[in-house]
Structure 1
Amino acid sequence: AARSGHPVIKTRAPLVVRWDDGRPSLHGFVFGLGAFVRVTSMSKKVNALGAFHSLSVALTLAGGVIGTLMGGARDRWRAGVPLCMAIDGEETRTADRFVVMATTLKRLPLGLKPFGPPREGLKFLDVDAPPKHLPGALPALLSGRDAAWLPGLGYRRGDAQTIRITTDQPLVVDGEVYDGAGGVTVVLAPALRFLAA
């Protein structure tokens, strides 16, 4: 329909980040902590050099992977950030995390599928720090393959209604870095309607 020149209405549900300290809630489509904050900062530098969209994603991902693979367990890329996290009211896990991400997007650039097969809803990726066997895990993670051995190595992904996080680390919502001090709750928001030309 968009190719015929007629506008198309698309529906997408964002996520909402609610702060424990009463700050105004944030709406967005991508949330992250840990290595995701570093990758976001790197992406801004790549964009400043004139690379945008898929090229920016590819260069940033490559930089993040190289930084992680080349560093030792205590390297800032691999060391992770301390946080407490609970999915849908489960028992809270307190540990250093390499990366925590959540999204409501069905598809990501370059066909990447770190949350598993494309689907609607709130999805998460939670990786322990330092990441174990990353060179072997990365192909399964990025392609969305359901490898039964991933959770045993500290790579968890799935669907959620509520993600509860307590940390003093910065976090990212849609490419902007925020002070994450205290606690946040991430939930699925009601769907929004967009007009696509």
Structure 2
Amino acid sequence: MGIISNPRSRRNWKVNLKQKIGPGVLAAAPTTNEGLTQALRSFATHNLDLLIIDGGDGTVRDVISAAAPIFGESLPLLALLPSGKTNALALDLGVPLGWSVESAIAAYTIGQVQMRRPIEVSRDGEAPLRGFIFGAGGFVMATEFAQRTHRFGAIDGLAVGLSLIGAVAQTCLGGSHNRWRLGDRVEIFNHATGETSVRDFYLLLGSTLSRLPLGIKPLGKARAGFDVLAVDAPPRLLPFSACAVVMGHEGGWLERLGYHHGHNIPPVRLTLQQGYILDGEQFPGGTIELRTGTPIRFVTP
């Protein structure tokens, strides 16, 4: 067994890693990408059966992105100890806050496993990033708003709810040149059809998760695969449309107003003028490739 712990995760600030682990568990608490890579390379020499990730969504993204080229097809089973400001993947997997190393090992022993396919985001000359929630346009600004709510102690579902309310308010109260309403110009190349289109989107949101915080359902009915919501800029009848979207409605009048849902999205190339968000962190815009990755096995309660 091995554990990668993020000492910067909110619930780890006052916890000593030694208090979490038992005998025979390899442990590392890297604070840089280079330290994370070194720790994973060291773990790989021990032929791990179980790799425990102690952190939030961003920590999971960093670990599974760095682990892919190190472990290849021999990636061990993963388990999560949700200790970050946001823990959407843990919520989707049914992993409770406060889950322990002992509980993860016990679940591994009896073979309680679920699989999730990550989103892979890549650009020329760089190794792919792997995560589970992708966003662009207004989602970038909403994430910036969420980071401000974290400073006041709002985490997990509360932060999501405040960010949603704040995004709608900022959009509705702004004028025609409000940066929320203008959105982001996105060029989309569909590898399956060979077609290119250019659209101004208020929001792009995509995920491979079945369940999101607060029970919101902006991607519509949960399906296997990469689901996407794309909202044209400027958004129309936003206060009413936003309520319908978060309740899981799709198609019909929402489609006619510019709220588009897509399911099991094939590989696409996006050119973004602004940046994008992957599991809570902002990355530079430009041309990126999006696709679903190889399923990852998670030990769950």
Whether TM-score is above 0.5 comes out as: yes
After the TM superposition, list the runs of 4 or more consecutive aligned residues in structure 1 that deviate by more than 4 angstroms: none
Larger fraction in strand: 1
Q: Give the 3 Å change call, closer, same or farther, for CA 88–135 of structure 1 in structure 2.
A: farther
Equivalent positions of 1:142-181 (< 5 A) are: 142-159=246-263, 160-181=265-286
1:30 has 2:133 as partner: yes
Measure, in 1, the Cα distance between the counterparts of 2:167 and 2:190: 26
Residue pairs, 1:105-184, within 5 angstroms: 105-159=209-263, 160-181=265-286, 183-184=287-288
Distance in structure 2 (CA, Å) of the matches to 1:192 and 1:147: 31
Match of 1:104 in 2: 208
Which structure: greater helix fraction? 2
SS in structure 1 of the partner of residue 252 of structure 2 = coil
CA contact (8 A) 2:119 2:291 kept: yes
**AA aligned opposite 1:174:** D
Aligned-pair identity in percent equals 36
Structure-2 separation of matches of 1:65 and 1:133: 11
Matched, 1:45 2:144: no
Residues 72-117 of structure 1: CA distance to partner in whole angstroms, max 9, x if unpaired? 2221111111111245635322122101111101111111111101
Counterpart contact for 1:127–1:155, Cα < 8 Å: yes
1:56 maps onto 2:159 in alignment = yes
Greater RCO (CA < 8 Å, at least 6 residues apart)? 1
Larger radius of gyration: 2
Query: How far apart, in 2, do the equivalents of 1:129 and 1:189 lie?
Result: 30
Count of residues paired in the alignment: 193
The SS at the match of 2:234 is coil
Runs of 5+ in structure 1 lacking a partner? none
Distance of aligned partners of 1:151 and 1:88 in 2 relative to their CA distance in 1, 3 Å threshold:
farther
SS of aligned partner of 2:134: strand
Q: List gaps (5 residues or longer) in structure 2.
A: 1-94, 97-102
TM-score (norm 1): 0.90
Given that residues 168 and 238 in structure 2 are in contact (C-alpha distance below 8 angstroms), is that contact kept between their aligned partners in structure 1?
A: no
Q: Report how far residue 120 of structure 1 moved.
A: 1.9
Give me the TM-score of the superposition, normalised by structure 2. Answer: 0.60
Give the C-alpha shift of residue 135 in structure 1: 2.1
C-alpha distance after superposition, 1:131-171 (max 9, x if no partner)? 11212211221111134122222111111122321123111
Letter in 1 for 2:300: A
Contact 1:116–1:158 (CA under 8 A) maintained in structure 2: no
